Structure 1
Amino acid sequence: MTQASTPVTTPPERSAFQTWLRLLWADKLAFFATLFLLFVLACAIFGPILMEDIATKQNLRGRNAAPFDLSQGFMLILGGDQLGRPLLARLIVAAQNTVAVAAGAVVMAMLIGSALGLIAGYSRGRMAELIPRLADVIMSFPSLLLAVIVLYMLDPSVGNIILVLAITRIPIYLRTTRAEVLEVRERMFVQAATVMGAPTPRIIFRHILPMILPTLLTIATLDFSFVMLAESSLSFLGIGIQPPEITWGLMVAQGRPYLTSAWWLSFWPGLAIILTTLSLNLLSNWMRVALDPQQRWRLEIGGRKNG
């Protein structure tokens, strides 16, 4: 008599989304930071559609209304500004310009800087010497001072602010990409592709770029917070986005004359900037570990314990 063998059941394979979600859940701070950033992104997308009229409607009876007073309606729960406009609605609407400027500057700087870095790192000719000098010229000027000088001469519109902030951040991506390419191009798989006669664009975009992309994404996440702080600083100095447009930095600047009598005018937008910047830093730290195969095991062990 032979005993019937029980079939071995293998656990179902997780999808890529489930795997990344499990890794994110392993780092609780990064998980809640991601939730907050998704909330900010939702406010940036849908906020102006839903609350633009409420954010611009004046109510002099609610001028500098104190927070947490529901006698004048729920929208004034965070207080009112100097014209009685609800701060809650204005915070939600201002998220669009704040996120748009930061995202536009980071994406533009990453695309231009990474492209120049790929050329400078893989090329062995004159371009490998000229392109790094371009980064040296840009970095010779303090980024905020350069933005102040340019915006003082140009119209401080959203497009000009994105362009100026992108130019100041290009050297970060250029130097990082060049340094990564100089190391990756000497590896065996790149040398093998070269010997087999693979064209240069295929080697760069198929073999080199996927290796350095995680580093660039981590830097972009961290750089997003820096650009947002730079935009807030320009708006605070009065050379950023001008009314009737609004950003969190501009709201802080508009509340500066009332710091002693109505502190909440600058406190809430300042808190939004701090929380968004902190969340981006936490997410960047998680991405640095999750995208590194040599360190990802820490998150995988934490995910198994939590699961």
Structure 2
Amino acid sequence: MTDSTTPKTETVSATRQILRMLWNDKFALVAAIFLCVVVLCAILGPWLLDDAATKQNLRGRNSAVFDVSRGWLFVLGGDALGRPLLARIIVASRNTMMVAAGAVAISMLVGSALGLIAGYSRTRASQIILRLADVIMSFPSLLLAVIVLYMLSPSVGNIILVLAITRIPIYLRTTRAEVLEVRERMFVQAALVMGASDRRIIFRHILPMVLPTLLTIATLDFSFVMLAESSLSFLGIGIQPPEITWGLMVAQGRPYLTNAWWLSFWPGLAIILTTLSLNLLSNWMRVALDPVQRWRLEIGGKKNG
């Protein structure tokens, strides 16, 4: 009975410790709450507000901010076709988050897998993988995305694939550098002496040491990919109407900046706040996942208590 309950107790204790450290950093706490709201909007928004976000009402063209005479959804104003901006921002969060999350997940999985091979293997394969990363990094990521999307149709899947390819070298090089350092530690050498297989050493001993760094980079990279997708949509080669993203909404409001600034302001503000929240949360994760610096958050909680 004791052996079966001990892992559950340790998991609950670790979860409480993480939540306590998050509570001690108020900026990270607010950022986490905001990101949870954005995720809920991305999941539930299209299901609840899809009709309101696409229904046109030419009488409400460029409705002013806080003009709720047509309903509470017009609290942020209306766009050039009379559609409520609040509903469109909430619905657009799905595509924006989907592209960013998909690109980060694919690049992290592929890049970390290649980085583990390049760092642990002493064969010619590691050099081939590094040269592949050099080829990808030789092209500016946004320029490469522009060229590929001009050749292919700018669909959600193609955008995710292109942005993922451009971010693979970040995870590949980071993972390789971490593995080169971890594989020389004593516990890895002891596992080798005891006859552990390469697969067991990589996934049981090396990967858990590398994973916190990769998660921190992924949080930062999420904001970069989201900005890249917004830039592509702003240039007109990202997701195309009738699909919407925050970047596309900013582009659609550009002709009306002089007389209806809110068309671009609110989706631009959503991009800024989401990016800022991701950066704040990434900074907290860097401290919380580092045993050398974690004491700062723990001591802060004791002082507050």
Could you state the TM-score of these two structures normalised by the residue count of structure 1? 0.95
| Aligned with 1:252 (options 250, 259, 284) | 250
Alpha-carbon separation, structure 1, partners of 2:251 and 2:303: 46
- Alignment-derived partner of residue 5 in structure 1: none
Identity, % of aligned pairs?
81
Structure 1 residues 130-169: aligned runs within 5 Å: 130-169=128-167
Alpha-carbon separation, structure 1, partners of 2:284 and 2:107: 22
Is 268-277 or 59-68 further displaced after alignment? 59-68
- Alignment-derived partner of residue 27 in structure 1: 25
| 1:77 partner SS | helix
- Alignment-derived partner of residue 243 in structure 1: 241
Structure 1 residue 132, shift from structure 2 partner: 0.7
| 2:297 partner SS | helix
- Alignment-derived partner of residue 115 in structure 2: 117
Structure 1 residue 69, shift from structure 2 partner: 1.6
Query: Could you report, residue by residue, the CA deviation over 1:186-235 in whole angstroms, capped at 9, with x for unpaired residues?
Result: 00000111111100000000000000000000000000000000000000
- Alignment-derived partner of residue 205 in structure 1: 203
Structure 1 residue 61, shift from structure 2 partner: 1.1
- Alignment-derived partner of residue 262 in structure 2: 264
- Alignment-derived partner of residue 281 in structure 1: 279
Alpha-carbon separation, structure 1, partners of 2:245 and 2:303: 42
Alpha-carbon separation, structure 2, partners of 1:69 and 1:46: 25
Query: Could you report, residue by residue, the CA deviation over 1:154-176 in whole angstroms, capped at 9, with x for unpaired residues?
Result: 01000000000000000000000
**Letter matched to residue 176 of structure 1:** T
- Alignment-derived partner of residue 180 in structure 2: 182
Unpaired runs of at least 5, structure 1: 1-11
Alpha-carbon separation, structure 2, partners of 1:250 and 1:203: 46
- Alignment-derived partner of residue 306 in structure 1: 304
| Aligned with 1:297 (options 287, 295, 298) | 295
Structure 1 residue 16, shift from structure 2 partner: 2.2
**Letter matched to residue 262 of structure 1:** A
| Aligned with 1:45 (options 43, 65, 76) | 43
Check if 1:68 corresponds to 2:66: yes
- Alignment-derived partner of residue 195 in structure 1: 193
| 1:15 partner SS | helix
Query: Could you report, residue by residue, the CA deviation over 1:59-101 in whole angstroms, capped at 9, with x for unpaired residues?
Result: 1111000101222211100000000000000000000000000
Structure 1 residue 303, shift from structure 2 partner: 1.5
Structure 1 residue 136, shift from structure 2 partner: 0.5
Could you state the TM-score of these two structures normalised by the residue count of structure 2? 0.96
**Letter matched to residue 245 of structure 1:** E
Alpha-carbon separation, structure 2, partners of 1:231 and 1:17: 33
**Letter matched to residue 133 of structure 1:** R
Structure 1 residue 304, shift from structure 2 partner: 1.6
Aligned CA RMSD, in angstroms, stands at 1.1
| 2:66 partner SS | coil
Alpha-carbon separation, structure 2, partners of 1:265 and 1:147: 26
Alpha-carbon separation, structure 1, partners of 2:140 and 2:71: 46
**Letter matched to residue 146 of structure 1:** L
